[in-house]
Amino acid sequence: MVPSLPLDVLVHILYQLPPSRDLDGEIAVKTIVQCSFASVLFRQAAAIPSIWQQHYQVRYLHANEPHEDQRKARTGGHWKLMYAVRRTIDNEVLKHLDSIVMKRVGRYEHANALTKYLFDAWDVLEIEKGTVSPGEYMKIRTLGESHTLLSTKAYWASALLTSIGQTYVVGLWSSLRLGDQSVSFVHAFSSISCFFGKHPDEISSMLTTLNSRCKDYLLRLNFPLSESDPNYDLKKLCLLICDFMATEGYGPVAAHSFHDVLNLFPHSYLTSHKRTIPLSLVHIFVSIAQSLGVASSPVDFPVRVLVHISVPNPEVDDFYVDVFGPETIVSLRDIPALLARQGIQADNMMHYISPCGAASMLLRGSRNILSSLNIPDTPLSLIRPSALLALTIFVLLTGVGGGRIVYQLISQADPLDCATFISEALIPILDGTGRVQDDLRLGCQKTLDEEVIIAQAIRLRSSENKIVQHFVGMLFEHRRYNYTALITGWDSVCQASESWIREMKVSDLPRGREQPFYHVVCMDSSSRYVAEDNIEPLLTPTDQLLKQMRQNIDILPKLFTGILTKTTFKNPDVQNTVPERRARFVLSPELSETYPEDEDMGDAWLTG
């Protein structure tokens, strides 16, 4: 009989299984569990809380805090039991995610149930989102090779993270509508990025790091940070904060980029768009100043936002900081003249010089967003989520909007938005607003009812009276306008409205409206409806073109799982034959359900 190892040695062995959020971490946990069945001593070793603590704390970075407190109370803080509870939640979330990926029918009921887990679902979705390496994303394979659903699953995991963030932040901002000042300007404004799939801790961590670096910067300058120090100078401190921000790359944006919508989102202006607009610079300044004990608040000043600095000495006037302009310190005496230039009289100036809370700044930010979306260069991928954010802020914080605003909001919302944050967070919060709440509820229900009808549709080309020449997943060039696009659906005859048919002069086409029309997505992510007469199949797309499509079209992995290619040789009996490599996109489960015969047609087309 082989002698068993001592308990401390077994514990040491289990400690060597490193915690991580990838496949190695999964294997490590499964190994610990399997070892616990090997012997009594191994079971004792595998039950030691600290072994599970490291795996828990690496895998689970986020949680709903009240739920986490309840889990700790129920399990007595035992890390193994807490890990088991969270993995049970993970499995439930993954079941919903698999249903969302595999079937369009019932998809949004699963999305609604999943997002109710909020941040308890965040880590497992983040792990699923990260399972696709750049090399595996929408991978190009040869006909005959199998494709995985990793890219499609990662797409939906990312979309659901955004829905969770939106649900959370609407709840956070709702207190501002009731006049609650417990949500600070910095926290409320940082949470804007939740609308783009960022966890609130991500932006908070960026600001905390920046605050700490500024403090180190000031200490290196031997600047006193205590008000009790006789050399403490509040105005000089504010100037030094601005100097620090400049050393970090933050400053006024150039005039030609002023209306770039990315200047308005914390995850952008804290990283890639550091040259930004006044409101965003004020957000950073106030975060730093408050971390240093300076009583600072934004001021809803016309033209550009200022910072109000409250001076502790009652005998000294408060002052203002202009983070954007050439004169950083603005005295109270300067204000009347500045307001007069904007046509504001002295007896109306209190609103413009008083410290304001988060609600005013969020509303100002929402107006800036809508203004920026009118700029022609705004990427199409940013227009919908940005407009949805701005309109949500307006409706939430004002409780007004009328039919036009609600219509605009619903027009920017997709079924996932309607099934999650709008129906579960925004609409309930609007109790007492009457028509706004009712219009939103009706708009959401209409969107979801239409989705149910679309989800149940099955398009069989074999049952059509007309021959549909092309297939979903085929690349083509437009015969008239020469752009490249990808087919995502088809109708055997034109199904557009009469006004669209007249505007597009469909009757001037050789076969008019009684020919197949195709739903397509273009390189800039825009969607179009194209007559078969205008489609020229793209026979030899380059790798560069395929790569560009994968990078540019955000919605691609929702609709397709990868790319298949097949190389054939024309005139094989002739010397120096030229190879022709055709390519098609592989349908996701969603499109395979709707167009069940298009995969086979695509394969037949690949082989020529």
- How far CA 17 is from CA of 12, 32, 33, 239, 438, in Å, comes to 9, 8, 12, 51, 55
Taking the C-alpha atoms of residue 307 and residue 287, their distance in angstroms, rounded to an integer, is 11
- Residue 177, pLDDT score: 83
Element (H, E) at 535: strand 535-537
347 pLDDT above the threshold of 80: no
Identify residue 513 by its one-letter amino acid code: R
Query: Is the pLDDT at 1 greater than 70, yes or no?
Result: no
Residue-wise pLDDT tens digits, 278-290? 999 999 999 999 9
Q: For position 287, what pLDDT does the model report?
A: 98
Going by C-alpha positions, the residue among 113, 112, 122, 134 that lies closest to residue 557 is 134
CATH topology of domain 185-361: C8orf32 fold (3.10.620)
b/e sequence 461-493, b meaning 16+ C-beta within 10 Å: beeeeeebebbbbbbbbbeeeeebbbbbbbbbe
Confidence class for position 134, pLDDT limits 50, 70, 90: low
| pLDDT for residue 574 | 58
Joined tokens for residue 561 = 């799982």
Residue range 354-374, pLDDT digits in tens: 899 899 999 999 999 999 998
Q: Find the mean pLDDT for residues 122-137.
A: 86
pLDDT for 94 equals 98
Q: What is the pLDDT of residue 136?
A: 72
Q: Using CA of residue 347, residue 352, residue 358, residue 359, what is the dihedral sign?
A: positive
pLDDT reading at 492 higher than 80:
yes
State the pTM of this model.
Answer: 0.93
Give the side-chain half-sphere CA count within 13 A for 286: 30
Query: CATH 3.10.620: which residues of the chain?
Result: 185-361
What is the predicted pLDDT for the residue at 3?
Answer: 61
Q: Residue 572's pLDDT band (boundaries 50, 70, 90)?
A: low
* Percent of the chain surpassing pLDDT 70: 97
* Rounded Cα–Cα distance for residues 191 and 144 (Å): 46
- What is the pLDDT of the chain when averaged over all its residues? 92
Convert the pLDDT of each residue in 390-443 to its tens digit.
Answer: 999 999 999 876 678 899 999 999 999 999 999 999 999 998 877 899 999 999
Tell me, what's the pLDDT at 108?
98
DSSP 486: E
